[in-house]
Amino acid sequence: MVLDYLKKSFDRLPISGKKRELVNLPNSITMLRILILPVLFLLLLQPGRTMSMIIAVLFLLAALTDLLDGYVARRYELITKTGKLLDPIADKIIINTAMILLIPVGRIPAWIVAVIVMRDFIVDGIRHVASAGGVILSASKLAKQKMVAQVAAITALLIHYPIFGADAQDVGLVIIYITLFLSVASGIEYLVDFYRRTFEEDE
């Protein structure tokens, strides 16, 4: 199997024990995802149909590897503190960069991006404060649905041009409004959960 071969190849690398925390297979997959960022900046050149499709495919592959690195980490018991830090950071960087770069080329409303990004900052802050107090706020069903919708929306907006008889731009805008609703709803859900599990328990 390809993953087994890659795992054995990484195991043969002359890396000390401490560096293994950083240089392992799942972390390398995570870092590979970040390499999509320079490609996303091609959006500023107002790309045509072919280039837009290439950018969209690369973005989607980068998003899907989020599932792969987590699977690899669990399968080979390579869950590390570095990996736990890098994985969500890579997700946020790729997705938020894509949305922000879609603004100047007129493919997404700026205010929607602002609301979604602010929601993410607020939720991350809440989860950090809760974690410091010993309370773990796991990703809710709404939050997971929001992530799936967000990736679908961005992919469609990156494609932009009509495909398979549908206008990708219009499809992307519909899904991004669904993403907006899920973002706000899941954000409120986190706030309520945080309040109940901290303040109400203290009372």
Same domain, 86 and 153: no
**Interior CA angle at 68 toward 157 and 23, to 5°?**
115
More confident residue, 88 or 200: 88
Domain shared by 86 and 139, yes or no: no
Q: 97 and 155 in one domain?
A: no
Q: Specify the pTM.
A: 0.84
**Which of 45, 71, 106 is at the close of a domain?**
106
User: Pick from 55, 80, 106: which residue ends a domain?
Assistant: 106
Q: What is the pLDDT of residues 35-72, one digit of tens each?
A: 888 889 999 888 999 999 999 999 998 888 876 666 66
Rg of the Cα trace of the chain? 19
DSSP run (H or E) holding 167 = strand 166-167
* Count of CB atoms situated within 10 Å of the CB of 41: 11
Q: Output the pLDDT for position 21.
A: 59
| Residue numbers of the domain that contains 120 | 107-203
Of the three residues 56, 80, 106, the one that is the final residue of a domain is: 106
The structural domain count of the chain equals 2
Query: What is the per-residue pLDDT for 80?
Result: 61
Domain harbouring 61, CATH code: 1.20.120.1760
Q: Are residues 102 and 173 in the same domain?
A: no
Q: Are residues 125 and 77 in the same domain?
A: no
Task: Identify the pLDDT of residue 87.
Answer: 67
Does 98 score more than 90 pLDDT?
yes
Residues 68 and 126 in one domain: no
Residue 101, Cβ density class (10 Å: 0-12 exposed, 13-18 middle, ≥19 buried): buried
- C-beta neighbour count of 168 within 10 angstroms: 22
